[in-house]
Amino acid sequence: MAKVFQFFKESRAELKKVVWPTKADVLSSIKVVIISTFIVAIILGLLDLGFSELFRLILR
């Protein structure tokens, strides 16, 4: 049982050493992720539409 308490004590000490990002950094990262996701979604949607039309023309 002593090892369990030692583990939590050491874990807490390590967490105090962590440099957490600021709120501004987190919000900036979130914006980048959301914008990147939309850009990739649009590109994949256009590729899907293009290939769908291509196969529709080929299979006609």
Distance CA 3, CA 1 (A): 5
- pTM passes above 0.85: no
Report pLDDT digits (tens) over 8-46: 999 999 999 999 999 999 999 999 999 999 999 999 999
| Confidence class for position 1, pLDDT limits 50, 70, 90 | confident
Contact residues for 21 (Cβ-Cβ < 8 A; gap 6+): 29
Exposure of 30 in the CB half-sphere (CA atoms within 13 A)? 7
Using the predicted structure, report yes or no on whether residue 60 has a pLDDT greater than 90: no
Q: Which amino acid is it at 51?
A: F
